[in-house]
Structure 1
Amino acid sequence: MAGDKMKRFGMVLGTATMLAGTAQAQQSLLPADIVPETQDAPAAPAAPRIQVPTVPVPSPAAQRPLPKLSGEQAALLAQLLGKDTNEQGLRFSGRAAPAPADNDALVRAALDHAHAVRAGRLDTADFQADWALRPQPYDPYPSFVQAVQADRLGQWFAELPPPWAGYEGLRKGLATYRGIAAKGGWKAIPAGPDMGMGAKGARVAALRERLAIEDSAVSATGATYDEGLRTAVQRAQRRYGLNPTGVVSTGTLAALNVPVATRVRQIMANMERWRWLPSELPKDRIQVNIAAAVMTVFEGDQPVMSMKAVTGKPGGGETPMLSSSIHSVVLNPPWNVPAGIAKRELFPKGMGYLKANGFRVIGEGPDARLQQASGDTSALGRFKFDFDNPFAVYLHDTPAKGGFSRFDRLASHGCIRLEKPNALAKRLLRDVPEWNEAAIDELTTTSTKTVRARLNTPVAVYLLYWTAFASGNGQINFRDDPYGWDAKLADKIENRSAVQTQVASR
C-alpha cells in the first residue's frame, strides 16, 4: 500500500515545482517589475466561514493499561527508538535521549514517538495562525498493543512514517546532509567579483571544492572556471531555484554559503510538514508551493498542468498554509479592497487616482471602503477562484503579467496570482455545459459583467510551504525560506521533543 502511494505521488513535488520554470530556464533574469501595491487582490476582511482545526493531541497512555514487554522486546524497542529518532528528524543533533529502562516509561516513549512520526511533533500551542494545515487524528495505542501481542514491533515501526516518496526522499537526504556535517560541512566561498568562464584563482578552487560536496560529478581540484564547472554551477543554481546563468554572482554565492547545519534544519522542518498531510490525498487536486511560487494541477494523482504564481511577500503578506476546496470561478470579479490596503496605499493617492483606476468609494467617513470595477485593469483580472478559508485568500488573475518573469515571485498581500488563469478556469469548468471555452472567452473578452460559475465537483486545493524536496535522482533541492518558517519550526520540533522526552520518562 505504501509503495503504491509512493509511486503515485512519487517525486512529483520536485517535478511540479520545476515545471513552471522550464521554458524560461535559459533566459537571463529580467529586471524586476515594480508592481503597484494595488495590483494585489486579497478579499475584503470578513468573518471566517470555516474554523482552523485544532491539533489532535491524544493521550495514548492515559488511563489505559500499558502492555508488558518481554526482555527481547524492550531491547528492540530501545534500539528502534534511538535509530528512528535520528532518521525521522525529530532532533537536530540526530542523537536520541537514552531510552527509559522502566517498562511503562519505555512504552510511553514509544507511543509518543509514534505519534510524532505519523502526525507531527508539534502540539496545539506550537502552531501559529497561518500554519493552518493541521494533521489528522492519530492514536498509536491500538496498533502498538497488537504489535506487542503479535511480536512485530519492527514492522510496526517501519509502517509509522508518512507513505509519501517526498517524505522518504527527505529522510534519505537528512542522512546525507548529517553525514556532510559530521565531516566538517563546507567552507564559505570568499566574497569577490562574479565568477564565470575563464576565471582563475583561489576562489574558483574554493567553488570547485564546495560544489563537489553536493555534486559527485564535479572535480574537487583545479583553479580554472571551465565548461565543466559552468554546467556544474548551472545544476546547483537549478537545485536552489535560481536563474541558471552559469555565473556565480551574489545570489548563487549566498545559496552556496548557507551552512550545512541550516540545511539540516530545513530538511527537518519540511519533513514535519509532510507529517501534517493526510495519508490519502485527493487524486484530483491543486497544489501551490508558496515558497517556490508555483501552482500545479493533479488529475488521477499525476501533474497535468503547472504554472508560475506570485505568492505573499514576507513581512506581513505571507500566504498561509491550508487545505480547502475550490467551489466556484468568479468571471470578471470586482475587487473589494481590504480596509488596511485602502487606508495605507490607495486613499492617500487622492480621488483623481481612484477615479482614473476604476475605484468607487462605498460609504462615508471612517467606514468608507473601496471597490474596483471588474475588467482588464482590475487587480483581480478576469478570474477569481474561490475556496472557503479563514484568511480570505484565493487564486486569481492579474493585469501585472511582468511579475511572472521574475525568479523571486513573492510580492502579493497573501493571495496567489496565476500566470495562466484562463487555462485553469477552462479545465475546472470543462464539465459545466453552460461554461464551455467559447462561453468563458466571450464573457471575459467582451463584457465586464460579474458571474459566479460553480464547479459541478469542488476540487481540493492545498497551499503548501516546501523549501526542501528530493528530485527523482534523490538529489535534495532547496529554496529560500522567505518567511523564516523553517528555522522557527525546527526550533519547535527540537523543543517539543525535549519536553516530550521528559514527560514520557516520568
Structure 2
Amino acid sequence: MTSKSLPFRFLALTGAVAATTAAHAQIAPAPAAPRSITLPPSSVAPQAMPVPVIQPVPELPRLTPEQATELAQLLEANSAEQGLRRVDAAVAVPEAHDALVRAALDHASAVRTGRLDTADFQSDWALRPGTFDPLPGFAKAVADDRITAWFASLPPPYAGYEGLKAGLTRYRAIVAKGGWQALPDGPDLAQGAKGARVAALRKRLAIEDGEVAATGDSFDAELKAAVVRAQRRYGLNPSGLVSKQTLAALNVPARDRVRQIMANMERWRWMPTQMPKDRVQVNIAAAVLTVFEGDQPVMSMKAVTGKPDGGETPMLASTIHSVVLNPPWNVPSSIANAELWPKGMGYLKANGFRVIGEGEGRRLQQASGDTSALGRFKFDFDNPFAVYLHDTPAKAGFSRFDRLASHGCIRLEKPDALAKRLLRDVPEWSEAAIDEQVTTTTKTVRARLNTPVEVYLLYWTAFASANGAMNFRADPYGWDGVLADKIERRAAAQVAAR
C-alpha cells in the first residue's frame, strides 16, 4: 500500500521489458543546424581565451531520385499505420531533399523510441525510452539501397505492437466509414427481447464482430453469444445481459478507440528492444499479474490496483529482490490521517496498530498476521513511489471485474504461489518452509531471491487477442486521452518546424 505518487520522476532501469511487458532515457533529437558558441567579454589575456566551438552538422546521405520517391511513399504510409498522427491529419511529406531526409530521421526516432519529448512525461509515467540515433542506420540503408527494409526494422519487435498496428488500420477504416451510432438508453436487454433497440444492438455489434448478422430485431441465442464475446473484449462480466456498463462500452466512439490504440502503441515504444525472458508484469488497467519464464506466460492471477483520483499505480520498471514473510504495515501518513486516526485508539488497538513516536512525528504500524493489510507476503522492489506487491486479507475484492481500489500498491490473488515460484532456487525456503513460516508464526523474515526478477507495472488498455480481435479496457486514470493529445501536438509541431 502507498499514498499518492511522489512528485518526481523515476528513471526506469536501462536494461531490458506487457500485453501481458523499459530501458528509457531522452529521445534523440533530429540533426541540429550548425551553431557557434559566442563567448562573453573577459579580462583574461588573449592567449587564455578559449577558441569558439563549432558543432559540426552531420552529413546527410544523398538520395537518388528513385530513393527519394521510395522514401516519400514510406513516410506517407508509415506515419498513419504507426499511430503517429491524428485520424484526420493530412500527410505532409517534404519535397526538398534535405527536408525529406530529416523527416525520415524524425519518423525513425518516433517509431523506435516514441513521439513524446522528455517534458511530456508525467511523474507517474516512470518509464523512459532508450536513446536512438537513426542517422547511421539510415545512411547505411541508403548506401545499400535497403530503405524499405530499414523502415520495417524500426517498430518495437513485439507481437503486441503488431496486433495494435493491425487493429489501428481496421478501426481507422471503421472511422472512415462513419464509425457507429450510439445505442439509445433504455431497459436492460436480454435474450428474448425484440424491437428497434435490439436491431440497433445487432447492427452495432456486427461492425466489430464478423460472426454477427447485422439485420434482425430479435435477441436470440446467437446475439447473446455475440454480446458475451463483446463483454469479454471489453473486460466486463460476460453475462449476455446488455446493461448500463455494456452499453457504455459499446457507445465509446470509434474515433476514441483509434486514439486509445495510438496511446498504447506509444507505450510499446517506451519498451526496450529486448525484454528479459523471465519477468513479472502487471497490467494496471486490467488489474492482472502475469509471470513469464523463457518469454512464455506460466502464471497469471487477478490483482487489485490503484484507484483513480489519488491512488493511481505508477507505470515503472524495477527488480524484485526479496519477499517479506509476515510483513508489518508501516502506514503512510496520508492514509493514517485520512482513514485511521479519525477512528480512534480503540479501533486502532483492536486491529493491531501501534503508535510509534510522539507529536507531529508519530506514525502507525500494523502488526504482522492474518488481519494485517499486507497479509502474509510482501514483494519488494526499489522505486521512489513506495509501491510493492502484497497479500491482503480482503479476498472478496478479487471477485469483482472492477478491481481498481488500492492506494497504489498491487494486492495479489495468489501471493503464496508467486512467493514459492520466486524462491524455488533458495534452499532454505522450500514450499514447506514458507508454509510453516506464515502459518505457525507472525515473525517477520526477509527472504532474498537468489535470482532477482524484473517487474513491470504497465498500463495496457488496448491489445489484440490471438485471433486478431481488439480488446479494450476502460481508461480509469484518463491517461489514454492525455497521451493521444501529446502525440498529436508533438506530431503537429514537428510538421510545422520543417
Alignment of 1:394-433 (within 5 A): 394-433=388-427
Which position in structure 2 is the counterpart of 1:59?
29
Which position in structure 2 is the counterpart of 1:17?
none
State the one-letter code of the partner of 2:213: S
Helix, strand or coil for the counterpart of 2:338? helix
Residue 304 in 1 paired to residue 298 in 2?
yes
Which position in structure 2 is the counterpart of 1:292?
286
CA distance in 2, matches of 1:355, 1:394: 26
Unaligned segments of structure 1, at least 5 residues: 1-40
Residue 350 in 1 paired to residue 310 in 2?
no
CA distance in 2, matches of 1:118, 1:482: 27
State the one-letter code of the partner of 2:326: N
Q: For the structure 1 residues 152 and 96, does the alpha-carbon distance in structure 2 shift closer, same or farther, using more than 3 Å as the test?
A: farther
| Aligned partner of 1:480 among 463, 474, 478 | 474
Contact 2:304 2:405 in 1 (8 A): yes
Contact 2:5 2:311 in 1 (8 A): no
Which position in structure 2 is the counterpart of 1:200?
194
Which position in structure 2 is the counterpart of 1:228?
222
Question: TM-score normalized by structure 1?
Answer: 0.90
Question: TM-score normalized by structure 2?
Answer: 0.91
Deviation per CA, 1:395-429: give whole Å up to 9, x if none.
Answer: 00000000000000000000000000000000000
Q: For the structure 1 residues 49 and 428, does the alpha-carbon distance in structure 2 shift closer, same or farther, using more than 3 Å as the test?
A: farther
Residue 500 in 1 paired to residue 494 in 2?
yes
Contact 1:55 1:123 in 2 (8 A): no
Which position in structure 1 is the counterpart of 2:2?
42
Which position in structure 2 is the counterpart of 1:131?
125
CA distance in 1, matches of 2:488, 2:362: 47
Contact 1:51 1:390 in 2 (8 A): no
State the one-letter code of the partner of 1:328: S
Deviation per CA, 1:11-34: give whole Å up to 9, x if none.
Answer: xxxxxxxxxxxxxxxxxxxxxxxx
CA distance in 1, matches of 2:3, 2:184: 46
CA distance in 2, matches of 1:371, 1:447: 18
State the one-letter code of the partner of 2:27: V
Which position in structure 2 is the counterpart of 1:32?
none
State the one-letter code of the partner of 1:152: R
Deviation per CA, 1:242-281: give whole Å up to 9, x if none.
Answer: 0000010010000001000100000000000111111110
CA distance in 2, matches of 1:243, 1:57: 40
State the one-letter code of the partner of 1:59: P
Helix, strand or coil for the counterpart of 1:469? strand
Q: 1:376: how far off?
A: 0.4
Q: 1:57: how far off?
A: 2.5
Q: 1:381: how far off?
A: 0.2
Q: 1:47: how far off?
A: 11
Alignment of 1:77-116 (within 5 A): 77-93=71-87, 95-116=89-110
Q: 1:94: how far off?
A: 5.6
Contact 1:49 1:389 in 2 (8 A): no
Q: How many percent identity over aligned positions?
A: 72
Q: 1:351: how far off?
A: 0.6
Unaligned segments of structure 2, at least 5 residues: 14-23, 33-56
Deviation per CA, 1:58-107: give whole Å up to 9, x if none.
Answer: 23423211112111111111111110001001111264532112211111
CA RMSD of aligned residues (A): 1.6
CA distance in 2, matches of 1:186, 1:287: 34
Helix, strand or coil for the counterpart of 2:320? strand
Which position in structure 1 is the counterpart of 2:453?
459
Q: For the structure 1 residues 417 and 344, does the alpha-carbon distance in structure 2 shift closer, same or farther, using more than 3 Å as the test?
A: same
- Larger radius of gyration, structure 1 or 2? 2
Q: For the structure 1 residues 48 and 78, does the alpha-carbon distance in structure 2 shift closer, same or farther, using more than 3 Å as the test?
A: closer
CA distance in 2, matches of 1:267, 1:51: 25
Q: For the structure 1 residues 147 and 127, does the alpha-carbon distance in structure 2 shift closer, same or farther, using more than 3 Å as the test?
A: same
Contact 1:52 1:390 in 2 (8 A): no
CA distance in 2, matches of 1:46, 1:315: 14
Q: RCO (CA 8 Å, sep 6+): is it higher in 1 or 2? A: 1
| Structure 1 segments of 4+ aligned residues over 6 angstroms from their partners | 43-50
